[in-house]
Structure 1
């Protein structure tokens, strides 16, 4: 008897023998068991997933002599003839070679006649998307209302090319690609039945090489048996497929873990000497890194019978999870960029060198999640007429401590006692003159452009923009600067916000709002006017249109922030009324408008711009101009 290839010999004969596609098998089996039969079915999916096989099993289920059943007997004349391909009432049509309207008309003309030997006349049209537009139109009416004895089973690998008018007349089933594990398991059963010796790792290679197609897997298995002279060995399958030996991959991982560049290049040269594909090497390397990452995250995720389990576990212990994720991403990008490299060797080695060069940032190298640190330049000068106490306060042995988050206040106000300030308008508070002490100057960062304040809620970057403008327009001072007498009595202790030191307030509400970093409560503070204040109390006014930000929740958050800032319990009273002065938000809008006018004027007065407008008919879009 002539040899029959494994793909045909092991074609399933019943629904129970099908591998995968459980969602399709369940629906069809229930439909046949209850005899709820549709007149047209459409099976879609990639090559080798069982479209034609399922169509033939459906034909047997419809015409089996035992009746319409989900389990055809396989021994009656109808079942045996369908399996042999000579059942007179089963017509298989290849639409790829019969694309014209004449071919379809010939088929449809015969559809009106009753079946000769079976219960139904079944038409299996393979690759139906290849039919011409006129052929589709010719079969529409028959496909919608065929005779009761006619069933259509259409199969295609490209359902997007099938007209929607045809799709709407069919019951559609989408067949999935099979997983490598499903393919490997089926090959295992086939080889055991065929009594062929094999190595499990070789079947894993075939399962991945099949790309979800069982027919491709069985064809590759036939080739592997011939290549191995009746045996299926891992080395032979690797040579046949051009796959990379797993030992090379683990050598690469060992070299990466040891940061051994020469060993990396030696392994790359060894892969080149074997004539293996670098694209396949990166593909397999990404697959191994995926298994390593699984082992690191879920130690029991790998199967116990996996041949290279020990090597994967060892690599998982040698590499950190961060390095594994980085190497996996670099391998994917290197495989994608391989066609753009000067040659495959350069692309492959460059990918390995990239893995060697880059490393995830260590925790100590990462700046905190808050706002980035701003450099503060400290300039200390000592005048000849400086008092002895002040000189001692700023001497190198006892430097004045300056914190970045210190609130802006003049040294004179800092030296004032922490008594209650009379309640009144902030602008009425007169700034006392500076004492003859060591001036401490902080260089603030350059002002950044701020977005226009719009609507009730300012954007999240509102406070940062206000801080930049405020610092650019306000002399740099330090809330936490201690008077000379205090420094002399306690030279080793400098008050900061963390130490809950008593910090006086100079009436600059906007500067205080910038210092507080209020978060959600910043909407209340930005839209509030300071009516008056004392040592333990703040009286604020909010306009009627901003009532939504003056809720009890926002007030509590603002009170907590103020209490934490000043190191004592602060009470806040928020009134709803007319704003007589300016709120921080209004100040920011005004300053932004002024900066915008300056930027527009600079553009309009630019000689080059004026030349373009005058000589070339250009125009200036003022809305597109943004201040720097």
Structure 2
């Protein structure tokens, strides 16, 4: 027997087998069960969502020998002939190749005759928007008042091109694109029925690449089966589609958050080394940024079965909403401009470098993840203690005789400044000044004195800094540190971030540090919570200062001006 492609073999034969069109199925099923039949239906939707399939199931429901029903038997002569495409009273017309008025007149002339074998004569006109204006005008009268034995089922991918006079004579049903989860779930059922091995990650990739079309997904699955020799594996599907591994995208975003240009270009080189599609990489990057933005605005909107859900939630806590929107827009523009670049690698890498260049100057600052309900009194510390990144080699204990913890702001003030000279220094580029300003690297830090907030300022943690910022120190020894992380921050307490934090601590102290992290109810004394309280205090002081300013008061009084609270930013 000849091989039948999966898209045809697994075409639904009843309403119960359809995937993702419950709103259409419910309306049609109720109409058939209650014998409320319209004479003309219009099915709209993108390719491969089931327009023609639903039309054929409707033809079976109208002509099944058991009677008009929403559940045709599928075994009677009418049902089997419709499935085989041999039913004489079912006429399928491709409007793309039969666009003229003569073709429609032939259809209308035949519509006057009674059905030969069935209960109704059903006309399925696919891509009806391709008909000419004269053809539409010719069918208006018959479409409005057809013979009792005639039913019209029209299908189109572009309902805007269908005349309003035709739309008003039809019951219109808009078919939705299927979600990647619905597509991958159906593909899983198909492969299980076919007894073929597969990896769920491969189905997720196909479900995303299908763009809501089940027919496209089944065609891609056929291709994947052939590509993998009967085995549908994730690596094989990525190679077949040129899809980018999600781990590369997470590495790129984490490097952008950390402001690490070397790591950003290394990820771009890794994509180039595997011969992956740069256009696909930017598309996937924009899609990932969209998911991050959704997680930031409405965390519960992320589906529970979404792949890499925890990593996306962690990124949403680390990345500021402004950065997510900025990176998303740059990714869209980079994808659009990719054909104009000298070569695709240059276009892709320049897009990433543009994200790095346009990021706020304080991109290395770790943002607090959430606001605590209770805010204890603010400690007497410099207001901008967290706005400057401390040097990674600064010691916790500054002097053996008098242990004292200097904030980065005070350390900067205490540093001697070179005298100002009127003569230009042409041999000293600006970027060399930062290098000379940094002290010589220390091989080992002094003993830890319990100032967790000061310690993490000296560590280069990157994305793992979110874990450190939202952790509360509850115990420590010379070789171990115990932290408490609130249950609301479970997403940032991943094993990978814990390992990065442990390695950073071990490198800082020059010995292995045992890191223990417990999930529970934090008291609100985490570095992130303290930083947020300080920020809110500075904002309150700035607001009060603006409101008490005589000039501002005079402008408000004389010109009826209004101070916009959101425009006030503390220094």
TM-score between the two structures when normalised by the length of structure 1: 0.56
Gap runs ≥5 in structure 1:
366-496, 502-511, 527-628
- Matching residue of 2:125: 125
- Matching residue of 2:78: 78
Q: How far apart are 1:88 and its partner, in Å?
A: 1.1
- Matching residue of 2:211: 211
- Matching residue of 2:327: 327
Q: Note if 1:516 corresponds to 2:553.
A: yes
Counterpart Cα distance in 1 of 2:305 and 2:119: 49
Task: State whether residues 326 and 360 of structure 1, in contact with CA within 8 Å, keep that contact through their aligned partners in structure 2.
Answer: no
Distance 1:250 1:113, change over 3 A: same
The alignment's C-alpha RMSD in Å is 2.8
Q: Deviations over 1:226-256 (max 9, x none)?
A: 1111111111111111111222212212322
Gap runs ≥5 in structure 2:
366-543, 562-571
Q: Aligned residues, how many?
A: 380
Q: How far apart are 1:107 and its partner, in Å?
A: 1.7
- How does 1:39-58 map onto structure 2 within 5 Å? 39-58=39-58
Q: Which has the higher contact order (CA 8 A, sep 6+)?
A: 2
Q: How far apart are 1:51 and its partner, in Å?
A: 0.7
Counterpart Cα distance in 1 of 2:198 and 2:66: 41
- Matching residue of 2:338: 338
Q: Deviations over 1:465-512 (max 9, x none)?
A: xxxxxxxxxxxxxxxxxxxxxxxxxxxxxxxx98x99xxxxxxxxxx9
Counterpart Cα distance in 1 of 2:177 and 2:80: 29
- Matching residue of 1:245: 245
Q: Deviations over 1:244-284 (max 9, x none)?
A: 12222122123223322122222212222322221211111
- How does 1:572-591 map onto structure 2 within 5 Å? none
Counterpart Cα distance in 2 of 1:125 and 1:301: 39
- Matching residue of 1:8: 8
Counterpart Cα distance in 2 of 1:196 and 1:174: 34
Q: Deviations over 1:81-110 (max 9, x none)?
A: 111111111111111122222222222211
- Matching residue of 1:183: 183
- Matching residue of 2:509: none
- Matching residue of 2:110: 110
- How does 1:442-521 map onto structure 2 within 5 Å? 516-517=553-554, 519=556
Counterpart Cα distance in 2 of 1:318 and 1:72: 54
Counterpart Cα distance in 2 of 1:224 and 1:91: 35
Q: Deviations over 1:407-445 (max 9, x none)?
A: xxxxxxxxxxxxxxxxxxxxxxxxxxxxxxxxxxxxxxx
Counterpart Cα distance in 2 of 1:191 and 1:34: 37
- Matching residue of 2:38: 38
Distance 1:230 1:171, change over 3 A: same
Counterpart Cα distance in 2 of 1:8 and 1:129: 25
Counterpart Cα distance in 2 of 1:137 and 1:322: 53
Distance 1:304 1:24, change over 3 A: closer
Instruction: Please identify runs of 4+ aligned residues in structure 1 that moved more than 6 A.
Output: none
Match of 1:173, SS state, is strand
Counterpart Cα distance in 2 of 1:298 and 1:122: 47
Q: How far apart are 1:291 and its partner, in Å?
A: 3.5
Match of 2:151, SS state, is strand
Task: State whether residues 322 and 360 of structure 1, in contact with CA within 8 Å, keep that contact through their aligned partners in structure 2.
Answer: no
Counterpart Cα distance in 1 of 2:307 and 2:109: 59
- Matching residue of 1:222: 222
Q: Deviations over 1:390-414 (max 9, x none)?
A: xxxxxxxxxxxxxxxxxxxxxxxxx
Counterpart Cα distance in 1 of 2:247 and 2:197: 23
Q: How far apart are 1:298 and its partner, in Å?
A: 5.6
Match of 2:154, SS state, is strand
Distance 1:290 1:128, change over 3 A: closer
Q: How far apart are 1:311 and its partner, in Å?
A: 4.2
- Matching residue of 1:542: none
Counterpart Cα distance in 1 of 2:144 and 2:305: 52
Match of 2:36, SS state, is coil
Q: How far apart are 1:348 and its partner, in Å?
A: 1.4
Q: Deviations over 1:350-402 (max 9, x none)?
A: 11112222333669x9xxxxxxxxxxxxxxxxxxxxxxxxxxxxxxxxxxxxx
